[in-house]
Amino acid sequence: MTLRVVFMGTPDFAVPTLLAVAARHEIVAVYTRAPSAAGRGLKARLSPVHQIAQREGWAVETPVRLRDGEAAGRFAAHGADVAVVVAYGLLLPKPILDAPPLGCLNLHASLLPRWRGAAPIQRAIMAGDRETGVAVMRMEEGLDTGPVGLTERVPIGPDQNAGDLHDGLATLGASLMARALDALETGSLGFAAQPEGGATYARKIDNQEARIDWSAPADRVHDHVRGLSPFPGAFMEVDLGRGPERVKVLRTAVAEGDGKPGTLLDPDGRVACGARAVRLLEVQRAGRGPMPAADFLRGVRLEAGAAFS
């Protein structure tokens, strides 16, 4: 049978799942975060999910909050069999969680209970994890604490960045959610409680947290850079003749080297860390596009011994 689905999601990550669900089921409403002001004219910018919903002619709801009777009533009025939630951005209160007869299913970009919370992809890479995945969970009032129905595991490559992993997990997650809904239709989707041990919290990335700590070992610096690439981007500060300037570091490689942490060791871009070194491969100055680090170093004429902070 075809399920009546309320889809709740906001960023690019949610779009493949929305399209996969719509290919087999009826989308009765799309919930997404309200448009945000962006650009010089502060023009309202629709979320990626909102744009797809508008294109397809689906009813769109953009509530600022869900914790009132009016929001619960509007949600229930859609008559959905199930809600599918992917990176929506608002917590669902109990009246909404209880409204669909088949519950609310969440697609989460980690192997729960590892990396509950807002930034599971970035945190997994920054922590040096060698494996991650996606999970379909039946939602409850706790943050990513509900029982898990399906999971899919993937390795994290040693040089894979958050952007690459994000795109791969978005596609994998769409397929997993489609399988979950197929099983839900036939009553064969079982759920298992998450283990009590091993839970970690993937808190939102703080801007100052993105600063590179050159005193850390090279592999930690490398993981930090790739975990924040392409957004928000790990950064360093360097004096280019007009005082400290912030420069994003988008790609690195672990290299041999020894010196005071944060010191440029050679014109090829090796920078000393707390142990060993990293080679800068790609950087980005404020207001400019990404560029090879070798071109940047030649252009600003930085020599061995320059200090990065």
The whole-number pLDDT of residue 30 equals 98
My answer on whether 104 and 25 are in the same domain is yes
Domain assignment present for residue 289? The answer is yes
Residues 133/162, Cβ–Cβ less than 8 Å: no
Range of the domain at 230: 208-300
Q: 259: domain CATH number?
A: 3.10.25.10
Last residue of a domain, one of 180, 201, 222: 201
Q: Specify the pTM.
A: 0.94
The whole-number pLDDT of residue 40 equals 62
The whole-number pLDDT of residue 185 equals 94
My answer on whether 9 and 146 are in the same domain is yes
User: Residues 229-264: pLDDT tens digits?
Assistant: 999 999 999 998 888 999 999 999 999 999 999 999
CA–CA dist 20, 171 (Å, integer):
9
In the chain, what's the furthest Cα-to-Cα distance? Answer: 68
My answer on whether 264 and 157 are in the same domain is no
Residues of the chain with pLDDT under 70: 37-42
Q: 49: domain CATH number?
A: 3.40.50.170
My answer on whether 223 and 163 are in the same domain is no
My answer on whether 176 and 220 are in the same domain is no
CA–CA dist 129, 149 (Å, integer):
23
Domain assignment present for residue 196? The answer is yes
The whole-number pLDDT of residue 191 equals 98
Domain assignment present for residue 102? The answer is yes
My answer on whether 98 and 225 are in the same domain is no
Listed residue (88, 170, 165) closest to 124, CA to CA: 165
The whole-number pLDDT of residue 1 equals 72
Residues 141/94, Cβ–Cβ less than 8 Å: yes
My answer on whether 231 and 197 are in the same domain is no
Strands 148-155 and 131-138: antiparallel
Domain assignment present for residue 307? The answer is no
User: Residues 136-188: pLDDT tens digits?
Assistant: 999 999 999 999 999 999 999 999 999 999 999 999 999 999 999 999 999 99
Last residue of a domain, one of 201, 229, 248: 201
Domain assignment present for residue 305? The answer is no
The whole-number pLDDT of residue 43 equals 75
For the chain, the domain total comes to 2
Q: CB-based burial of residue 74 (10 Å sphere; 0-12 exposed, 13-18 middle, 19+ buried)? A: middle
Domain assignment present for residue 309? The answer is no
Domain assignment present for residue 126? The answer is yes
Last residue of a domain, one of 176, 201, 226: 201
